[in-house]
Amino acid sequence: MANHLKEERTLVIIKPDGIQRSLIGEILRRYERLGLKLVAIKMMVPNKDHIEKHYTLDPNWRTITGEKTIASYKKKGMKPPSEDPLEITAVILENLKTYMTSGPVIVMVWKGVHAVKIVRKITGGTEPLTSDVGTIRGDFVLDSYQISDIDKRSVRNLIHASGTEDEAEKEIKHWFEENELINYRHIQEAILYDVNLDGILE
Ligand code: GDP
């Protein structure tokens, strides 16, 4: 847990499709203009082992994602490919490993008040078809589970963003060495966080 609320951090990955769609600048702009502070950034091509570890940092991820996917099939009146959540997630994970290692990604850490929730809000829901208008996924991509399932691949949704503060801290440690994270003061923090806004008037 962060010491002060403005110290909250979250991990964001621009996935290979985000890079190939020339959306790096657009995506950075969306987070930057909120007032979040970028404290780490790098481009890399991850390997499959790194991706598997990323998705399974939460030991319950396989079960939760499998159950969620089965429920989403049933809600749409469709028969899930299996009733076993672990079988479903095994396929999802294989597809994610192919997707996430298909080209370079950009990994970053953003810091600020409510960083985790604010980034998730701006990023939009996981499935682009139903992501809200105005979110990055809602505005810049058109994929759906229906189409990605037919093609037996991951849904292309441009970005990964941590789901909770606890998940964020684990993911940051998974992707970055401590010395890659930069502690610095951003001049706009005064206007975002100073209680009395001292120092504006001359
Ligand atoms: P995130 O938190 O937005 O990254 O999404 P989740 O952790 O809930 O899901 C991770 C991945 O699982 C997604 O990127 C999808 O590839 C896959 N996934 C999640 N829910 C479903 C679903 O209902 N159907 C299918 N086909 N895939 C899903």
Whether 119 maps to a domain, the answer reads: yes
Cα of 191 from ligand 1 centre, angstroms: 37
Whether 23 maps to a domain, the answer reads: yes
**For residue 172, pLDDT beyond 90:** yes
| pLDDT tens digits along 87-98 | 999 999 999 999
Whether 124 maps to a domain, the answer reads: yes
Only one residue has tokens 């990604």, namely: 105
Residue 3: band (very low, low, confident or very high) from pLDDT cuts 50, 70, 90: low
Q: How many CA atoms lie within 13 A of 113 on its CB side?
A: 6
DSSP assignment of the chain equals --SSGGG-EEEEEE-HHHHHTT-HHHHHHHHHTTT-EEEEEEEE---HHHHHHHHTSSTTHHHHHHHHHHHHHHHTT---S-S-HHHHHHHHHHHHHHHHTSS-EEEEEEESTTHHHHHHHHH--SSGGGSPTTSHHHHH----HHHHHHTTS----SEEE-SSHHHHHHHHHHH--GGGS-----TTHHHHH-SS-TTS--
Ligand 1 atom closest to residue 120's alpha carbon, by position in its atom list = 3
Residue 24: band (very low, low, confident or very high) from pLDDT cuts 50, 70, 90: very high
Taking CB atoms and a 6 Å cutoff, what residues make up the pocket around ligand 1?
65, 68-69, 72, 92, 96, 126, 145, 149, 154-155, 160, 163
Whether 156 maps to a domain, the answer reads: yes
| pLDDT tens digits along 107-120 | 999 999 999 999 99
Residue 34: band (very low, low, confident or very high) from pLDDT cuts 50, 70, 90: very high
pTM for this predicted structure: 0.95
Testing ligand 1's pocket by substitution, the residue of 68, 155, 166 carrying the most ligand atoms inside 8 A of its CB is: 155
Q: How many domains does the chain have?
A: 1
Looking at ligand 1, which residue's alpha carbon is closest to its atom 17?
92
Ligand 1 atom closest to residue 71's alpha carbon, by position in its atom list = 23
123 CB burial (10 A radius; 0-12, 13-18, 19+): buried
Ligand 1 atom closest to residue 126's alpha carbon, by position in its atom list = 3
Residue 134: band (very low, low, confident or very high) from pLDDT cuts 50, 70, 90: very high
| pLDDT tens digits along 36-53 | 999 999 999 999 999 999
Whether 27 maps to a domain, the answer reads: yes
**Mean per-residue pLDDT, 75-79:** 92
> Which residues constitute the domain of residue 167?
5-45+103-193
Looking at ligand 1, which residue's alpha carbon is closest to its atom 16?
154
Q: What is the rounded distance in angstroms from the CA atom of residue 133 to the CA atom of residue 128?
A: 10
Q: What is the rounded distance in angstroms from the CA atom of residue 142 to the CA atom of residue 155?
A: 10
CATH number of residue 146's parent domain:
3.30.70.141
What are the φ/ψ torsions at residue 44 (nearest 5 degrees)? -160, 165
Take residue 100 and report the two structure tokens written for it.
Answer: 């996430």
Whether 94 maps to a domain, the answer reads: no
